Structure formats: C-alpha cells, structure tokens
Amino acid sequence: MDEDLNVTYITLGGHVEVHKYRYLYFVIMFTAYILIICCNSTIVYLIWIHKNLHEPMYIFIAALLINSVLYSTTIYPKLLIDFLSDKQVISYSACLFQYFLFYSLGGSEFLLLSAMSYDRYVSICKPLQYPTIMRKTTVSVSLALAWLVPACQLVASAIMSMKQKLCRFTLQVIFCNNSIYKLHCVTSRAISIYGVFILLNVALCPMLFILFTYTKIFTVSYRSCREVRTKAAETCLPHLLVLINFSLLCTYDVIIVRLESDIPKIARLIMTLQLVLYHPLFNPIIYGLKMKEISKHLKQLFRQYKMN
C-alpha cells in the first residue's frame, strides 16, 4: 500500500527466475506478440479487401481474430514491462481492469464461436432460408451482443471485488486472473455465486449450444450427399478445433486457483503462457490453412509479396 498516493499495489509472483532470464523472456514474448498481431491482422485484411469474403461466416472469423488481438493486448504490454522491471507489481485498480478485460474478451470468444456455429447450422441445415435469417442486421446484433454481454456481466463482478477488503497483496500468477479472489480477507459468497452465473452464461451455455448445433449439422450431413458432407467438414472442423483448444485452456484457468499450491511454479507458468501464447496464434493458422477461400487468397498474397 502506498500511503501517500493511497494506491494499493499487488505483487505478481508467478514469474520464474525473471531476473536471470528477463531478456530471453522479453525477446520470446515480444516476438510472439508481433506474430499474433501480424497473423491475425493478415487474415482480417484479406477478409476486408475481398468482396467474396464479405459473408457472415468470414465476418465472424474476422471478429474472432480481432478479439484474439484485443485479448492478447490485455496481457502482453504489461507482461513485457514486467520482464524488464526490478519489481513485478500492479495497482489493484489496474489489476481489476486487466481481470475484467481478460474474462470479458474470453467470454466474447465463446459467444462469437456460438454465432459462427449458428451461421453454419443455418447454412447447412436450412440453406433456402439462409439469406432471410442471416441478414446484415442479424450479424451486427450477434457481434454487438458477443462483446457487450460478457462486458456488462464482468463489470458487476469487478465492482464487487473492488469493494472487498484485502488481506493479501501477492498473486502467484504473471497477470491478473480469477486468483484475485485470494487477495480478499473474506471469501464472498455473493461473488462466488455470481462468478458461477457468469461462467454458465458466457462459457458453458454457449458451449452446449455449439455442441447441439454441430450435432444437428453432422446428422444432416451424414444423411445428405457427399458435397454437403464436404462443405460441413471444411467449414465446421476449424471452428471445432478452435473451440476444443480454447475450452481446454479455459478449464485450466478456472481450476488453477483451486490447485495452485499443488502445481509446481514452472508448470503453472508454462500452462498460463499457453493460454496467452498458443491460442491467439492457433486461430489464424487454423483459419488460414483450413478455410479454402481464405487459404487461396493467402497464397495469392504471398505470391505477390515474392514477386515484389
């Protein structure tokens, strides 16, 4: 606590030998951050400039990739500063803000994947009704809700946490996640219940919805001709891979607070880095390689670059 400025500082104690390997950590994470921005931005740029990609499916993909860049930006700048600092600290208000952005954008990821699964469901199971259902208004409302619903719910959670008295000032993490609850003197039942409510709303329910829509898609595809099955595999497989990857990493993030003392520090660091390193790079690679139209435009872009 800084008495003069009346600011509470939290120590981020999840780093492993940061003083010894600070420059190595910095170079690796800075390179990863640049790659995340470049890879995601390239796919978004291709979707933006090519009119044949101005369809709901590709618009949702662009939104998902933009979300990945925002998601990474909540973590990387502060992380890079910490690697070069003597002390890895953050004010409690900034910690809450990082927590809010991290989980808000994480929730948006699930809701965007839900919107994408619904788009694929309508396209494959109700092709004649597709133009009527998936209009620009539907897409715009889906995108707005995907970002606003988690943000509105997480604001309340952050405000409730802000009002809690703190008895501890060290987190065994490298950025502010749900372990901030361990700083509170008393575990709030209201915050715990509300946290479960948010988890159901922005993660579990969207995941069940996605699994339901894909079950319907694969059922219809199995009974249809080979062309429909091929279309379903090409467009749905990348979404499922992204969902499985992100769900597994989020499951780790949810349970790590419960098992923190039982997991070695280096193992916690590696798993946490996967959440902010592996996933944001995984999305553009999957969509760039597995989506036929995006892959075609990507190859053309590389050919032009080589020619120049």
pLDDT tens sequence for the chain (308 residues): 444 456 788 998 888 888 888 899 899 999 999 999 999 999 999 999 988 889 998 999 999 999 999 999 999 999 999 999 888 999 999 999 999 999 999 999 999 999 999 998 898 888 889 999 999 999 999 999 999 999 999 999 999 988 888 888 888 888 988 888 888 888 888 888 898 899 889 888 998 998 899 888 888 877 777 776 777 777 777 777 778 877 877 777 777 665 555 667 777 777 777 778 877 888 888 877 777 788 887 888 777 766 66
User: What dihedral do alpha carbons 248, 196, 176, 284 form, nearest 10°?
Assistant: 40
What residues pair up with 7 in beta bridges, in sequence order? 2
Q: Distance between CA atoms of 66 and 293, rounded to whole angstroms?
A: 19
SS3 of residue 173 by DSSP: coil
Three-state secondary structure of 16-56: CCHHHHHHHHHHHHHHHHHHHHHHHHHHHHHHHHCHHHCCH
For residue 180, give the nearest of 8, 5, 3 by alpha carbon: 8
- In the chain, what are the domains? 9-307 (1.20.1070.10)
Q: How close are the terminal C-alpha atoms of the chain, in Å? A: 56
For 200-235, give the DSSP string.
IIIIIHHHHHHHHHHHHHHHHHHHS-HHHHHHHHHH
Token readout for 272 is: 């946490």
Tell me the residue type at 243.
L
Q: Distance between CA atoms of 39 and 19, rounded to whole angstroms?
A: 30
User: What dihedral do alpha carbons 164, 170, 176, 181 form, nearest 10°?
Assistant: -40
Q: Distance between CA atoms of 56 and 108, rounded to whole angstroms?
A: 17
Task: Write out the E strands in 151-283.
Answer: 170-171
